[in-house]
Amino acid sequence: MKLTSKFCGLNFKNPLVLASGVLGVTGETLLKVIRNGAGGVTTKSIWLKAHKGHKNPVMFSCGEVFMNAVGLSDAGFEKAKEEITIFKKKSSQPLIVNIVASKIKDFGLLAKKISTLNPDLIEVNISCPNVEDEFGKPFACDIFSAEKVVKIIRKNTKNNFSVKLSPNVNNIGEIAKACEAGGANAITAINTVGPGMRINIETKTPILKNKVGGISGPGIFPIAIKCVNDIYRSVKLPIIGIGGVKSGEDAIEMMMAGASLVGICTGVYLRGISVFKKVCQEMEKWSKKNNIKSLSEIIGSVKID
């Protein structure tokens, strides 16, 4: 089976993309991910101006669960411009640029600036729990706020954009509908679950300096599958499915739930940067065994009465 995929008019050599995270900071790192088999890459969340984030320690791993409270640290638009330019000069593979803001108007300003860099797709992060204490409830947790962000993005760019949603809501399908109504071209789901907390029992203190952090990794995979399927059954927009994917079988399952592309982040930590090549090989093996000729046979194929 050929793994080539089309998403929002873009051609991907395979449906696996680097999800937004620590590997998306520099142009050279993004290029390295492409060389290791990813069909596309996503930058770390970019702010209009430099954002400090949280103090170390900001990450913690325990088996099937990974926690982070990086706090979306970033050098701001001007530095991101340099790194995006480096990537685009050396690669023609799809680049998804993730943006974040604390105010609705700033989403509009940043979307306009990012559009001048000609990204293949903009990803709008309205769902990160790591800044919840700093700015209040994430925009993704309220239908009206989510739609307001989407509408201001739509007014400020002609680029296609995907909205990254949070699993920490009662009905993610309704949030997706609001984004569709506002003019979004796609949905990315899910962001981290939580926040959660772990305690160092020797010091009786939280392991993360921020006390709490977003939860990712294989432990949240079942939540991601349900959220993606809820969105798939609620809107007509294509979906980038993210959350705990680490194998070819996981990627197939995510696509059966309704995803057209599959994002991998913690999987890089668990299996190394070659995880993209490994997952593609596992997808091809499974497809050959099950006589699958095209990805279109898989997407949204889960049978729910």
Q: How far is CA 214 from the centre of its chain?
A: 13
Q: For residue 90, what are its two tokens?
A: 């050396």
128 is an active site residue: yes
- Which among 8, 62, 128, 280 is annotated as catalytic? 128
List C-alpha distances in Å: 13 to 5, 30, 99, 149, 175. Answer: 6, 16, 24, 31, 30
**Could you give the CA distance from residue 142 to residue 127 in angstroms, rounded to a whole number?**
10
3-state secondary structure of 68: strand
Q: For residue 255, what are its two tokens?
A: 């696509």
3-state secondary structure of 247: coil
**Could you give the CA distance from residue 93 to residue 34 in angstroms, rounded to a whole number?**
8
The CA-based angle 278-283-288, given to 5 degrees, is: 130
**Could you give the CA distance from residue 39 to residue 262 in angstroms, rounded to a whole number?**
10
Q: Which residues are catalytic?
A: 128
